[in-house]
């Protein structure tokens, strides 16, 4: 009886919660207000076309639009393109564009703008776009509202890369004057088609965007203004959210140690939704080109010696979940859990090191290594280094931690290859390119190329096949096989899937409605008054 009562009580709770959620959902969006958000660090420029990092994207995705956007499941939805058609062989893609769309300066948006953006910006100036659009040979514009892409090989990644985070449509009439696009003053005062119009950027302080009165999606956006503030100090960012001076902060804007405290405040909410598109996996990279990590037994030993649960709980405060392979489980299309696993087992690690000939010396130390702390990514990575030092000490490995700034770090890892191992996170996006495991992508001096020195002919073959595979079933097979081999060879350790947080006021609604969440256009966001 007691159990029954308890059950009924909790059932009632569920029913009431659902009802409450239902009413909250049914609320009509309200017009007006100023939405002040924080993001960090401040971008160098305001166009993703010439700087494809997150910070430039956060602002520019509100001003510029892509041809498509992706819903919470990753399926394409119309934005500047209202319909599209991919030919059976994958070599011709036709887009029909939205009629009546105007640039913020009043000019008409046409197919020429798309052609210009693809040929002059995405394919040339955009770091990922250069790969994604590489097979586009010709762009035809049979009429003002039709764009036809002709490809030399099928490019399945292309249709997953047309949101404004990856490929922003830029106005031809502003940028195509023959001079350097990156030097055009409108790079920092963008003119787009999006729901928000650029008003001002005071460097070191803030960006102000105004509501686009003549946005094609009539009635949107709802607030009058969108402000992005740049507050360099983490504690001051917490204070701004706490006092309500800022109502939303995306991409873990404050130290995770402070998130629980803010989440407990009555007028603040925390969510990890809206980062599925990026599907980041915390990954430890080994330098397999030199000792000791050239020996696969040593890599396996380090996998068994890493207590990933402790890493996730103690440093990332549980914001994430343990990863099984290089493709995050958010990527439901290509993810597989059917890969070799390495549960925490220090004894097994020691046995493997013995087998590889790394026996303890008189001080009990098997090897001395240097771990490069990826401090530019945040304070968590410094603590991670300290944790790993302790964990690996248990199997007789003595770590020296080395800290450096971003430029020095990149040069060490990608140009000099002068490192033992380091940890970073790896964004997979919707259609994995996996170029970090591609043997032909060992390219000196190129950041985020294959730095581990790992090259497996079978993996190379599969990666190359997947990039031009038009049959969805075969794509899945190829990606599954890659994951299995990589998890056996272990050029990297996959630690856990990161869950960045968005912290927002309970008055702010509908901010993360697409696959790319806060990196969407904020056309649906509204403030309760």
Partner 1 sequence: MLVVFIIATANFALVHLVPGDAADVLAGESGSATPEYMQMLRQRFGLDKSLPEQYAIYIWNTARLDLGYSFRFSEPVSKLILGRLPATLILMVPAAILSFCIGVGMGVFASRRVGTWADSVVSVAAVLVYAMPVFWVGLMMIVIFSVNLRWLPTNGMETIASGYRGMDYVIDVVQHMIMPVTAMALFYIALYTRMMRASMLEVSTLDFVTTARAKGLNDSRVAYGHVLPNALLPMVTLLGLQVSTLLGGSILIETIFGWPGIGRLAYDSIAGRDVNLLMGILLASSVVVIVTNMVVDLAYGWLDPRISKG
Select 110 or 423, whichever has its Cβ closest to partner 1. Answer: 423
Q: How far is the CB of 57 from partner 1 (least distance, A)?
A: 10
Select 344 or 448, whichever has its Cβ closest to partner 1. Answer: 448
Q: For residue 83, give the 3-state DSSP assignment.
A: strand
498 binds partner 1, rule: CB under 8 A:
no
Per-residue DSSP letters for 88-145? TTSSEEEEEEPTT-B-TTSPBP-HHHHHHIIIIIITTT-TTHHHHTTTEEEEEEEETT
Size of the residue set binding partner 1 (CB under 8 A): 63
DSSP state of 67: S
Burial of 508 (0-12, 13-18, 19+ CB in 10 A): buried
Q: What angle do CA 101, 106, 110 make, to 5 degrees?
A: 40
For the four alpha carbons of 261, 262, 266 and 271, in that order, the dihedral sign comes to: negative
Per-residue DSSP letters for 323-382? -SSSS-TT-TTT----S------HHHHHHHHHHTT----TTS--EEEEEEE-GGG-HHHH
Q: Which of 7, 11, 34, 77 binds partner 1 (CB under 8 A)?
A: 34
DSSP state of 261: H
Q: How far is the CB of 117 from partner 1 (least distance, A)?
A: 17
Per-residue contact track with partner 1, 433 to 452, x per CB under 8 A? --x-------x-xxxxx---
Q: How far is the CB of 42 from partner 1 (least distance, A)?
A: 8
Q: How far is the CB of 84 from partner 1 (least distance, A)?
A: 25
Select 11 or 44, whichever has its Cβ closest to partner 1. Answer: 44
265 binds partner 1, rule: CB under 8 A:
no
Per-residue contact track with partner 1, 172 to 211, x per CB under 8 A? --------x-xxx--xx----------x--xxxxx-x---
Question: Binding segment for partner 1 among 49-57, 257-265, 378-386, 491-499 (CB under 8 A)?
Answer: 49-57
Select 18 or 127, whichever has its Cβ closest to partner 1. Answer: 127
Q: Which of 508, 493, 5, 36 is nearest to 227 (CA)?
A: 36
245 binds partner 1, rule: CB under 8 A:
yes
Select 210 or 295, whichever has its Cβ closest to partner 1. Answer: 210
Q: How far is the CB of 388 from partner 1 (least distance, A)?
A: 22
Select 32 or 445, whichever has its Cβ closest to partner 1. Answer: 445
Contact between residue 193 and residue 183 where contact means Cβ atoms under 8 Å apart: no
Select 151 or 433, whichever has its Cβ closest to partner 1. Answer: 433
Q: Which of 37, 39, 51, 104 binds partner 1 (CB under 8 A)?
A: 51
Site for partner 1 in 121-140 (CB under 8 A): 124-125, 127-128, 130-131
Per-residue contact track with partner 1, 401 to 420, x per CB under 8 A? ----xxxxxxxx-xx-----
How far is the CA of 393 from the CAs of 351, 365, 401, 416, 529, in angstroms? 15, 8, 13, 27, 55
Q: Which of 49, 55, 161, 352 binds partner 1 (CB under 8 A)?
A: 55
Q: How far is the CB of 242 from partner 1 (least distance, A)?
A: 6
Select 87 or 134, whichever has its Cβ closest to partner 1. Answer: 134
Q: How far is the CB of 403 from partner 1 (least distance, A)?
A: 14
Select 110 or 280, whichever has its Cβ closest to partner 1. Answer: 280
Q: How far is the CB of 52 from partner 1 (least distance, A)?
A: 4
Residue environment code for 471-486, b if the CB has 16+ CB neighbours within 10 A, otherwise e: eeeebbebbbbbbeeb
42 binds partner 1, rule: CB under 8 A:
yes
53 binds partner 1, rule: CB under 8 A:
yes
Q: Which of 168, 171, 63, 95 is nearest to 125 (CA)?
A: 168
Site for partner 1 in 210-239 (CB under 8 A): 225, 227, 229-233, 235-236, 239
Select 63 or 81, whichever has its Cβ closest to partner 1. Answer: 63
> At which residue do the structure tokens 């013995």 appear?
354
379 binds partner 1, rule: CB under 8 A:
no
Select 150 or 412, whichever has its Cβ closest to partner 1. Answer: 412
Q: How far is the CB of 44 from partner 1 (least distance, A)?
A: 5
Per-residue DSSP letters for 265-318? STTEEEE--S-TTT-EEEEEEE-TTSTTTTSHHHHHHHHHH--HHHIIIIISTT
* Sheet-wide strand order for 280-286: 320-322, 492-498, 280-286, 421-427, 367-373, 397-403
Q: How far apart are CA 120 and CA 357, in angstroms?
A: 55
Residue environment code for 314-353, b if the CB has 16+ CB neighbours within 10 A, otherwise e: ebbbebbebbbbbbbbbbeebbbeebbebeeebebbbebb
Select 52 or 456, whichever has its Cβ closest to partner 1. Answer: 52
327 binds partner 1, rule: CB under 8 A:
no
Which residues are CB-contacts of 163 (< 8 A; sequence separation ≥ 6)? Answer: 61, 66, 68, 69, 70, 79, 277, 514, 515, 516, 520
H or E stretch at 69: strand 68-70
Residues that bind partner 1 (CB under 8 A): 34, 36, 42, 44-45, 50-55, 124-125, 127-128, 130-131, 180, 182-184, 187-188, 199, 202-206, 208, 225, 227, 229-233, 235-236, 239-240, 242-243, 245, 376, 405-412, 414-415, 427, 435, 443, 445-449
């Amino acid at each position: 009886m007691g159990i029954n009562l308890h059950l009924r009580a909790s059932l009632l709770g569920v029913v009431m919660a659902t009802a409450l959620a239902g009413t909250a959902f049914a609320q009509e969006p309200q017009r007006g207000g100023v939405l002040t958000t924080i993001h960090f660090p401040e971008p160098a420029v305001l166009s993703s076309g010439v700087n494809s990092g997150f910070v430039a994207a956060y602002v520019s995705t509100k001003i510029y639009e892509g041809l498509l956007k992706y819903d919470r499941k990753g399926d394409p939805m119309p934005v500047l393109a209202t319909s599209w058609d991919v030919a059976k062989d994958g070599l011709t893609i036709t887009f029909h564009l939205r009629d009546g769309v105007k640039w913020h300066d009043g000019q008409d948006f046409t197919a020429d703008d798309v052609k210009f953006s693809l040929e002059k910006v995405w394919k040339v100036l955009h770091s990922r776009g250069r790969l994604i659009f590489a097979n586009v040979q010709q762009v035809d514009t049979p009429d003002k509202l039709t764009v036809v892409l002709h490809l030399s090989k099928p490019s399945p990644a292309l249709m997953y890369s047309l949101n404004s985070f990856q490929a922003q449509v830029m106005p031809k009439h502003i940028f195509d004057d023959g001079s350097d696009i990156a030097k055009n003053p409108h790079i920092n005062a963008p003119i787009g088609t999006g729901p928000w119009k650029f008003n001002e950027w005071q460097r070191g302080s803030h960006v102000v965007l105004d509501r686009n009165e003549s946005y094609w999606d009539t009635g949107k956006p709802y607030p009058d203004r969108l402000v992005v503030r740049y507050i360099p100090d983490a504690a001051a960012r917490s204070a701004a959210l706490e006092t309500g001076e800022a109502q939303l902060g995306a991409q873990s804007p404050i130290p995770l140690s402070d998130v629980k405290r803010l989440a407990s405040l009555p007028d603040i909410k925390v969510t990890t939704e809206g980062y599925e598109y990026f599907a980041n996996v915390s990954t430890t990279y080994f330098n397999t080109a030199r000792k000791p990590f050239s020996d696969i037994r040593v890599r396996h030993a380090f996998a068994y010696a890493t207590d990933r649960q402790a890493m996730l709980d103690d440093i990332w405060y549980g914001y994430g979940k343990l990863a099984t392979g290089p493709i995050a489980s958010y990527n439901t299309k290509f993810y597989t859990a059917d890969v070799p696993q390495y549960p925490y087992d220090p004894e097994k690690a020691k046995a493997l090191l013995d087998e590889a000939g790394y026996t303890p010396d008189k001080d009990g130390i098997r090897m001395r290594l240097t771990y490069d702390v990826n401090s530019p990514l945040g304070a968590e990575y410094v603590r991670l280094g300290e944790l790993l030092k302790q964990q690996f000490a248990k199997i007789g490995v003595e770590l020296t931690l080395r800290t450096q700034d971003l430029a020095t770090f990149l040069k060490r890892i990608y140009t000099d290859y002068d490192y033992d191992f380091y940890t970073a996170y790896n964004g997979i996006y919707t259609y994995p390119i996996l170029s970090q495991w591609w043997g032909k992508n060992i390219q000196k001096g190129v950041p985020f190329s294959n730095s581990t020195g790992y090259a497996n002919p079978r993996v190379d073959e599969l990666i190359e096949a997947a990039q031009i595979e038009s049959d969805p079933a075969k794509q899945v097979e190829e990606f599954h096989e890659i994951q299995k081999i990589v998890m056996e060879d272990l050029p990297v350790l996959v630690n856990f899937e990161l869950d960045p947080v968005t912290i927002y006021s309970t008055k702010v609604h509908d901010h993360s409605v697409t696959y790319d969440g806060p990196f969407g256009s904020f056309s649906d966001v509204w403030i309760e008054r």
